[in-house]
A and B are shown apart, each in its own frame.
Chain A
Amino acid sequence: MKELFPIKQVMGFVFSLILTAVALLVYFVDMSFTAGMTILLVTAFVQAGLQLVVFMHAGETEDKAAIYSNVYFGILVALVTIFGTLLIFVWDM
């Protein structure tokens, strides 16, 4: 019975509900813009990672390496794009 119960998925589900609730606080609680954005960014990325690992089963098959390298490559490209754009439009305009 123990093997059949998807404990990891249930925990993941509860955790993702908590993350959603925390993100909602930004709307209902009065806080500064920076604090709000920080909470939103952190919860959003943790949420995305959770979905990928727990519910989309990244890392459970033999192409674990390929999947994670793709994810890391995507993160690299996104960061370079964002910081490059900030460099062009904000820091050095």
Chain B
Amino acid sequence: MDFFDRFAVPHPSFLIYASMVAIGLTVIAVLVGITYFKKWDYLWREWLTTVDHKRIGIMYLISALLMLFRGGVDAIMLRAQLAIPDNKLLESQHYNEVFSTHGVVMILFMAMPFIMFFFNFVVPLQIGARDVAFPRLNAISFWLFFMGAMLFNISFVIGGSPDAGWTSYFPLAGNDFSTSVGSNYYMIAIQIAGIGTLMTGINFITTIFKMRAPGMKLMQMPMFTWSALISNLIIVFAFPVLTVLLAMGTMDRLFDTKFFAIGDGGSDMLWANLFWVWGHPEVYILILPAFGLFSEIISTFARRNLYGYKSMVASMVVISAFSFFVWAHHFFTMGQGALANSFFSITTMAIAVPTGVKIFNWLFTLWKGKIEFTTPMLYAMHFLPLFTLGGVTGVMLAMSAADYQYHNTMFLVAHFHNVIIPGVVYAMLGGLTYYWPKMFGFMLNERIGKWTVWLMSIGFVLAFIPMYITGLDGQARRMYTYSEATGFGPLNMVAFIGAGIMAISFALLVYNIYYSVRYSPRNIGNDPWNARTLEWATHTPVPEYNFAVMPQVKSTEAFWDAKKNGHEIFKGKIEKIHMPNSSGLPFIMSCIFFVFGFSMIFSIWPLAIISLLGILGCLVYRSFEKDHGHYIPVEEIEETETKLRGAK
């Protein structure tokens, strides 16, 4: 085989060639643009080498929004293909590639970086810290995630996309049935991003345990920080399973080991098992920070402190353990007996209890509150009923006997979109609107924002409720077409229209950003929402060192206390502040990781070995590097403080 043949796309089509050209042109345009405006130096100094948690957070945010767009385009293609019976828009192979990519991109490269954005931007500010515990590691986490995501995204123009579903079950994902490099991309790109996530987990647990402001006890942390702590705890215990699983999958595909082979002592079912040992905790990793954000938003705009703080914390702790006890509910139909299935059925139903407790806590917080319907609050209000519906259908799926009927139908697809969109996505977009002024110093337009929420919910209901019905009628998931005689046609058309409305809602969000950049007033102060927690106590824009004087905390809502009861948070005088230095190493090492991943995917061994040595070189360099950080002198801090106070 000619060396370059391997990079060809195995199932080319006009659309793929068009995207190739489009990607090529965009890359050239970006490079030329940066050079023309002489921004390389700025980019390198302020962003590529930064270790500042706020900037890393913003880079996560940008990546997440880009991936939301990419995954959204995939979604529209899928719904368009299914809109009418016997449609010929996508061939079966392309349909498989698109739904596989859609799933991976949305979960791992959209939802994950979105919560990472909130961890990074919000947690240190909420606990009154100046950065995370390991700033350099944090930069490595981001760049590994970013390179993993980029590697995965080039698959459809170089070598072919994975086509075995986001769950990538063996034997389908093995060499016998997936002959292109697509599944290699899956194994290796996710591996690289996953290592980054694991390091984030360690970083944030340490940050939350060790770097809270003086006086802030664990039981006084804001609810979002609690949810971040629990979520990162689950990351640390769940992601190693993914790491091992992907390593085994890689070896099966590249080195002919037999872990997931049929026969030879292997077992294909082992993949499904381990995948969900990671996979179920993963969905809780996503939903807990969402719960945390809704808790902040609801208590801010109901103008009341959160009802049942202790039960909220307790339910999250219970969820963190229980999320590891339920994984087999994803494969009730695999062939194990009634005893095993009953066990996992019961644990699954049990985990719905703490989730329900939280719903009641939010309702009681709203009870007798002075509710103010801002855009973030509107997201929360739409979340409550819609998410409850998703939880209820989850409990239906949890009954193992009944699940033989629902499994792998559109009913299941409706369930998980019903929890992930109103749960995770609404929290992300609501939280984004909520924290936008803290990041950029102006608010997003409220009128356009509310339109976005309503369109999103209308689109969501039209797109996914019909799937419950067609699913119960027997429409299987991951089928690229169906005949007219099935009668699925009309409801699938409704779902397509719903998906279109959701796309319009996303476009409106983008327009809102553009509109607000141009017209939104800039003199909004530090606390535009009249909020309750520490992140609103510092200036906007947040200075590099976050707080000139370390805050002193006495209650769960330190800032609210300061405003209402006159308790002083910032006592003491300004002293010099120790800050970490920027470093190019995380970026460079992650670039080498990209090359390493690429050469592994295409089995270009010499390059793989060279890049592996490069990675080792970076590690050795870091071990001997002397980097003590730097101090910001008092005069400089005072200068910044006066300037920021004046800017208000």
A positions within 8 Å CB-CB of B = 63, 66, 70, 73-74, 76-77, 80-81, 84-85, 87-89, 91-93
Contact = CB atoms under 8 A, between A and B. Distances in A.
A87 B346 CA distance: 15
Interface stretch (B250-258, B336-344, B619-627): B336-344
A80 B269 contact: no
Contacts of A85: 273, 277
B340 A87 contact: yes
A82 B340 CA distance: 13
A88 B328 contact: yes
Contacts of B334: 88
B209 A80 contact: no
A73 B269 contact: no
Contacts of A73: 233, 237, 321
A89 B336 contact: yes
A63 B209 contact: yes
B641 to A, nearest CB: 34
Given A87-B343, A89-B267, A92-B340, 17 more contacts: A70-B233, A77-B321, A77-B324, A80-B324, A80-B325, A81-B241, A84-B327, A84-B328, A85-B277, A88-B273, A88-B328, A88-B340, A89-B270, A89-B273, A92-B337, A93-B336, A93-B337
A64 to B, nearest CB: 12
23 contacts: A63-B209, A63-B210, A66-B209, A70-B233, A73-B237, A77-B321, A77-B324, A80-B324, A80-B325, A81-B241, A81-B277, A81-B324, A84-B327, A87-B336, A87-B343, A89-B267, A89-B269, A89-B273, A91-B339, A91-B340, A92-B336, A92-B338, A93-B335
Interface in B224-280: 233, 237, 241, 267, 269-270, 273, 277
Contacts of A76: 321
Contacts of A74: 237
Contacts of A77: 237, 321, 324
Contacts of B344: 84
Closest 4 CB pairs of A and B: A92-B337, A92-B340, A88-B336, A92-B339
A92 B340 CA distance: 6
B335 to A, nearest CB: 7
A70 B273 CA distance: 24
Nearest to A67: B209
A72 to B, nearest CB: 11
B302 to A, nearest CB: 33
Interface residues of B, number: 24
A89 B335 CA distance: 9
Contacts of A93: 335-337, 340
Contacts of B339: 87, 91-92
A66 B321 CA distance: 16
A39 to B, nearest CB: 23
A64 B273 CA distance: 34
Interface in B23-69: none
A63 B269 CA distance: 40
A11 to B, nearest CB: 29
A70 B232 CA distance: 12
Nearest to B267: A89
A76 B335 CA distance: 26
A62 to B, nearest CB: 10
A81 B237 CA distance: 11
A92 B400 CA distance: 15
A59 to B, nearest CB: 16
Most-contacted residue by chain B among A63, A70, A77, A91 (CB, 10 A)? A77
Contacts of B210: 63
Contacts of B321: 73, 76-77
Contacts of A91: 339-340
A41 to B, nearest CB: 19
B207 to A, nearest CB: 13
Contacts of A70: 233
Contacts of A66: 209
Contacts of A88: 273, 328, 334, 336, 340
A89 B241 CA distance: 18
Interface string B311-348: 00000000001001101100000111111100110000
A92 B341 CA distance: 9
A66 to B, nearest CB: 6
A72 B75 CA distance: 42
B208 to A, nearest CB: 10
B407 to A, nearest CB: 16
B438 to A, nearest CB: 30
A81 B270 CA distance: 12
Nearest to A63: B209
Contacts of B209: 63, 66
A80 B273 CA distance: 13
A87 B327 CA distance: 13
A52 B108 CA distance: 32
Nearest to B338: A92
A93 B336 CA distance: 4
A47 B159 CA distance: 46
A92 B342 CA distance: 11
A76 B325 CA distance: 10
A88 B274 CA distance: 12
B2 to A, nearest CB: 44
A84 B273 CA distance: 10
A70 B229 CA distance: 13
A81 B339 CA distance: 16
A74 B235 CA distance: 12
A74 B205 CA distance: 15
Interface in B103-153: none
Most buried by B among A63, A74, A88: A88
Nearest to B325: A80
